[in-house]
Chain A
């Protein structure tokens, strides 16, 4: 797991100890992201790098316009499944792709979690050739993911590509016959979506 120390987090983001612990108390930063590890001074706290940096950025973007209670609601795991957004309003997905997805899945509104998967995969597919976006999406959206605490891994086997979702941020080691193409954490995508679209709609 790619970790960042508390000290580095504060230095990079410019937030204070007080802000960090306040957000933890309010549930805006999940407790399980505070990972204690031994260090020469005794114990030090680390965080999953990608998730925490994305979350802090989202909070900083929204904190002046929304109360902590509102942020807690917006960033809670529940809102990922309950809030839906019309795919054609999402700037991160081009209109042609959005129409194709709407036709294929027979619906135009998707949950934040589903859109996180769609954006992640769309982003990946745009950078490669010979990819079947709808095939990957079909695999991705049928994976019954319930939270954003998943690492999405795309790998290829011979001529086909597949998506794998692994809870947490554990690294997967692939045998030589499989090739890792891309991996990213869903929380980073869902946080930015929450900030941009849920707030706009509210």
Chain B
């Protein structure tokens, strides 16, 4: 097995390995490809990162693109380009300066996407997501916490702007557009909410609701205009 262990402070050129272990402070100057990467130290990768199984309990900064089948972030990762992963779990902090694509995402930490696209099949979590310039697009979006995005679109969007772990702590989520077949939101401020089945639970402030199906508006919500062919639930 071809294992690269970086337990020291220094530089490495990169390459292809079965396993990369970072426990020291390392700078990798080129692309790195490995089946397994364990980053418990502090690493800076100046090239692209490609691996099957990536876990970060330390601090990792990648200047190039990140592509990983499975990623588990308990520490801090910063990707200065695009990030792509089939299965992404974040209990720490992840910042992606480019676009992000995950088939499934589970985030209980702090996730920032600065690109224009944040996409996947299933995006779920209970932490903080900041994607101010991005369209978040997924079949299933379920989030308990605070989310900020330009657009949130998909088949089913549920945003409950509250703390999952501390009762009575509520947040305010923001988006210009929320558009999905089924929408259930609370504590959300949005310019337009558009869908077939829309449930505005609590404390939503919506400019325009465009509903072609069933609409529920909680008593603590404010809505500017309602358009479409809908029935009140």
Which residues does A use to contact B, with CB under 8 Å? 7, 11, 16-19, 21-22, 24-25, 41-43
Contacts and interface: CB of A to CB of B under 8 A. Distances in A.
Contact of A18 (B181, B194, B208, B227): B181
A16 B227 CA distance: 18
Contacts of A24: 137
Interface stretch (B65-73, B105-113, B126-134, B152-160): B152-160
Contacts of A19: 155
A174 to B, nearest CB: 39
Contacts of B153: 17, 21
B191 interface: yes
A22 B119 CA distance: 9
Interface residues on B, range: 20 to 34
Contact of A22 (B155, B192, B212): B155
Given A24-B137, A25-B137, A41-B225, A18 B180 contact: yes
Interface centre among A16, A19, A21, A22 (most CB of B within 10 A): A21
A42 B154 contact: no
Contact of A17 (B176, B180, B191, B208): B180
Nearest to A15: B181
B195 interface: yes
B53 interface: no
B215 to A, nearest CB: 15
A88 B191 CA distance: 55
B207 interface: yes
10 contacts: A17-B195, A18-B155, A18-B181, A19-B155, A21-B154, A21-B179, A22-B154, A25-B137, A42-B176, A42-B207
B208 A7 contact: no
Nearest to B117: A25
B184 interface: no
Interface of A is mostly: helix
A21 B207 contact: no
B31 interface: no
Interface of B is mostly: strand
Contact of B137 (A7, A21, A41, A43): A21
Contacts of B194: 17
B210 interface: yes
B38 interface: no
A25 B102 CA distance: 11
Given A7-B210, A24-B137, A17 B154 contact: yes
Interface string B88-109: 0000000000000000000000
B208 A41 contact: yes
Which 4 pairs between the two chains have the least Cβ-Cβ distance?
Answer: A18-B155, A16-B181, A41-B208, A18-B181
Nearest to A44: B192
Nearest to A22: B139
Given A7-B210, A24-B137, A41-B207, A18 B154 contact: yes
Given A16-B181, A17-B155, A42-B176, 10 more contacts: A7-B210, A17-B154, A17-B194, A18-B154, A18-B155, A18-B181, A21-B153, A21-B155, A25-B137, A42-B191
A168 B218 CA distance: 45
A18 B180 CA distance: 6
A16 B181 CA distance: 6
Contacts of A41: 191-192, 207-208, 210, 225, 227
B87 interface: no
Nearest to B101: A25
Contacts of A43: 177
Contacts of B139: 18, 22
B21 interface: no
A73 to B, nearest CB: 18
